[in-house]
Amino acid sequence: MKVLIVDDNAGTRSMIKIVMEKTGHEVVGEAWDGESALKAFTDLRPEVVLLDVIMPGKSGVEVLEAIRAIDKAAKVIMVTAIDQDEINSQLLSKGASAIIYKPFGYNDFEKTFKLLK
């Protein structure tokens, strides 16, 4: 699958990119904040967006809402360190396809991507 990685931490983006490439996915772009994420989404039209929740500028929740307004069928996986029922419900109700929690492992991505197919 063609993947866009959005996270304000360059190290996290690098780790996710390595996992994506090792599992046969193509990373078509990376973004570090909400504005660059929306531009990359509209320019690149990835099959999946891996989206951090807490970022400078637009939050991941705001970006999720904007992506879903552009494409209701977009597959957006939220990547977050926050594991709280209220936030999880909010993300899923706003159209997140899945949630992966930091710290994450290789298997977290593999299992989640199998659910998307």
Mean pLDDT (the chain, rounded): 94
DSSP string of 44-105, one letter each residue: H--SEEEEESS-SSS-HHHHHHHHHHH-TT-EEEEEES---HHHHHHHHHTT-SEEEESS--
What is the pLDDT at residue 65? 97
What is the pLDDT at residue 97? 96
Return the CATH number at 73: 3.40.50.2300
Count: domains in the chain: 1
pLDDT digits (tens, 9 = 90+) for 41-51: 999 999 999 99
pLDDT digits (tens, 9 = 90+) for 52-67: 999 989 999 999 999 9
Domain carrying residue 21: 2-116
Answer whether 0.85 is exceeded by the pTM. Answer: yes
Low-confidence ranges of the chain (pLDDT < 50): none
